[in-house]
């Protein structure tokens, strides 16, 4: 009876911390969507809101890490249960980084709206790329809750599409910069934004890999080959 009580308490702890992960994931999905919309529409107020809301994402990561540490210390989980707790910590870290990239997009959006040049085509292309990452994140979180390895692997494969979108935009921005020196500053901002979104996709992929880890106890057999073929590796933040 005591053992059953402990098991039930542990299950409740797991459900609680995973519920926090889903809450954090929802905030991050919103941050991706709002940052891309603010960029396309040059909405400074929305861009500033994304930056402000990042504090809530950071706070949730701290809560999740604290709760996960408490569960490990109190329940001493093993095997699958331990993998679940460890995955929670890693997923929270990846979500926090995605939130940081959304915040960075908000920062650059304000700069672009005040003096930069943003073509309709560039804003729409970046928003499409962000929308794909947002869909990938939703599917990765669904895969985690449902322990759906096939859906997780599908998310991992789809990151190649994001890389290819980034490659195309990189070439486009480079062309604009070569055509007119006045395009250099705004195109550099746009390139950093595109790179931020591409890095979001990498962190979503890492979340999907945690699904495989939780279910099988192993990471995907081979490192994923990146489709980012650009030679310049800028600072993302």
Q: Is 46 exposed, middle or buried (0-12, 13-18, 19+ CB in 10 A)?
A: middle
Query: SS3 letters for 89-136?
Result: HHHHHHHHHHHHHHHHHHHHHHHHHHHCCCCHHHHHHHHHHHHHHHHH
Gap between the Cα atoms of 52 and 200, Å rounded: 19
Q: Count the Cβ atoms, other than its own, within 10 Å of residue 80.
A: 12
Backbone angles phi, psi at 119, to 5 degrees: -75, 155
Note the pLDDT of residue 122: 83
Note the pLDDT of residue 226: 65
pTM, two decimal places: 0.88
Q: What is the pLDDT along the chain (237 residues), one digit of tens a residue?
A: 434 435 677 788 888 999 999 999 999 999 999 999 999 898 999 999 999 999 999 999 999 999 999 999 988 888 888 899 999 999 999 999 999 999 999 999 998 887 756 565 788 899 999 999 999 999 999 999 999 999 999 999 999 999 999 999 999 999 989 998 888 888 999 999 999 999 999 999 999 999 999 999 887 766 666 666 665 454 444
């Amino acid at each position: 009876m005591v053992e059953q009580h402990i098991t039930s308490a542990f299950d409740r702890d797991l459900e609680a911390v995973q519920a926090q992960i889903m809450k954090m994931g929802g905030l991050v999905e919103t941050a991706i969507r709002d940052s891309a919309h603010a960029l396309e529409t040059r909405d400074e107020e929305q861009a500033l809101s994304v930056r402000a809301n990042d504090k809530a994402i950071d706070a949730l990561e701290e809560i999740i890490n604290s709760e996960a540490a408490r569960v490990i210390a109190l329940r001493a989980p093993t095997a699958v249960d331990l993998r679940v707790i460890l995955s929670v910590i890693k997923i929270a870290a990846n979500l926090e980084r995605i939130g940081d990239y959304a915040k960075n997009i908000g920062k650059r959006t304000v700069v672009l709206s005040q003096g930069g040049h943003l073509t309709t085509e560039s804003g729409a292309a970046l928003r499409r790329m962000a929308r794909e990452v947002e869909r990938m994140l939703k599917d990765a979180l669904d895969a985690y809750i449902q322990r759906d390895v096939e859906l997780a692997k599908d998310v991992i494969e789809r990151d190649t599409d994001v890389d290819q979108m980034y490659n195309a935009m990189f070439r486009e921005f480079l062309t604009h910069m070569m055509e007119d020196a006045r395009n250099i500053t705004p195109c550099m901002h746009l390139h950093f934004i595109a790179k931020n979104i591409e890095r979001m996709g990498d962190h979503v992929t890492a979340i999907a890999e945690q699904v495989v880890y939780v279910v099988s106890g192993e990471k995907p057999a081979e490192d994923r080959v990146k489709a980012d073929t650009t030679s310049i590796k800028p600072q993302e933040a």
